[in-house]
């Protein structure tokens, strides 16, 4: 029997780490200071796309492993994961496509572009529909014997005293626990509207407006419209002007969105640092695995980074 493990943080990074440890035989507790339904992971469009995350070599490995996991999950409708046709638009064609090192064996095709765009790429990307996939993940966690507790960790020593293996996956909260000043919030606001019959994902992640990104991610019951990327801004109050701007940009990509009834506005804070911190260190008899700083790509690398958590725990 493996020793007890404690995961601090219940976003997608912490939850998938907990599930993978449970699958490998650990007894796992999961602590979160906040309601998991209100975390940034629940706000996200959860499109598989490596956005604002480094270092490239490790990210590619984690992202590919996560992609393969989503391909498997997409075969079961109860998981809430599906494959969607996606079109990425560029104003300036990049010299190297982000997909090249990840998808040497996966078809992707140039797509027609229109002004102001100079190029486009079409491929199929996984979408984890969070209203359905997060409950599935929690059911998996509990079915494997995981235990959850709403608990605030004021000092890292509290966690280190509670288990022989501790995984710090608290997103922005990890910064205060370990004194990491390189971890900064990048605010993201999204708008949810009723789905007028859309299936295609649209991406324009380099618009001319500062602090803006544009994406349209249809789901079964709604469409997630994005968004913003404001580094250093940490408030989670909806900005009415941004809501209007997001809707206008997305309607320019897909005109049927202009009249779609609005269902809600959500704000989350991406935990961004120069590079993901995924490493282990020993504190007396406790192994501490840092697993935070995944920026805007937590859903893209979650399963791959969770696999590395297991490897570090076993080392």
For residue 282, with 0-12 CB atoms within 10 Å meaning exposed, 13-18 middle and 19 or more buried, which class applies?
exposed
DSSP summary character for residue 257? G
- Locus of tokens 């708008």: 191
Q: Extract the residue ranges of the chain whose pLDDT is less than 70.
A: 1-2, 95-109
Convert 146-164 to b/e letters by CB count within 10 Å (16 or more is b). bebeeeebeebebbbebbe
Domains: count for the chain: 1
H or E stretch covering 288: strand 286-294
Residue 51 has a pLDDT of: 85
Domain CATH code at residue 165: 3.40.50.720
Residue 108 has a pLDDT of: 65
* Residues 230/211, Cβ–Cβ less than 8 Å: yes
Q: What residue numbers bound the domain in which 171 lies?
A: 4-314
Contacts of 178 (CB under 8 A, 6+ apart): 156, 168, 290
Give the three-class secondary structure for 309: helix
Residue 102 has a pLDDT of: 67
Residue 96 has a pLDDT of: 62
Neighbours of 217 (CB within 10 A): 27
Residue 220 has a pLDDT of: 95
């Amino acid at each position: 029997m493996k020793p007890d493990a404690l995961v601090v943080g219940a976003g997608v990074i912490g939850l998938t780490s907990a599930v993978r440890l449970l699958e490998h035989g650990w007894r796992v507790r999961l602590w979160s200071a906040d309601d998991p339904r209100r975390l940034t992971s629940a706000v996200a469009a959860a499109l598989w796309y490596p956005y604002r995350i480094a270092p490239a070599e490790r990210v590619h490995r984690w992202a590919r492993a996560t992609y393969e996991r989503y391909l498997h999950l997409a075969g079961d409708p109860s998981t809430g994961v599906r494959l969607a046709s996606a079109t990425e638009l560029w104003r300036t064609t990049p010299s190297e496509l982000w997909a090249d090192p990840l998808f040497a064996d996966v078809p992707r095709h140039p797509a027609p572009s229109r002004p102001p765009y100079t190029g486009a790429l079409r491929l199929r990307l996984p979408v984890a529909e969070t209203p359905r996939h997060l409950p599935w993940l929690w059911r998996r966690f509990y079915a494997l014997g995981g235990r959850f507790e709403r608990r605030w960790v004021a000092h890292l020593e509290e966690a280190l005293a509670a288990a022989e293996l501790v995984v710090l996956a608290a997103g922005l909260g990890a910064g205060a626990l370990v004194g990491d000043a390189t971890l900064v919030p990048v605010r993201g606001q999204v708008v949810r509207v009723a789905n007028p019959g859309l299936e295609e994902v649209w991406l324009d992640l380099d618009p001319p407006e500062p602090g803006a990104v544009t994406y349209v991610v249809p789901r079964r019951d709604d469409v997630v419209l994005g968004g913003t990327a404001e580094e250093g801004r940490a408030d989670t109050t909806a900005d009415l002007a941004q809501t209007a701007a997001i809707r206008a940009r997305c309607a320019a990509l897909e005109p049927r969105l202009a009249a779609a009834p609005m269902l809600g506005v959500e704000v989350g804070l991406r935990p961004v640092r120069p590079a993901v911190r995924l490493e282990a260190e020993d504190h007396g008899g406790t192994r501490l695995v840092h697993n935070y700083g995944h920026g805007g790509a937590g859903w893209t690398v979650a399963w791959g980074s969770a696999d590395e958590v297991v490897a570090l725990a076993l080392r």
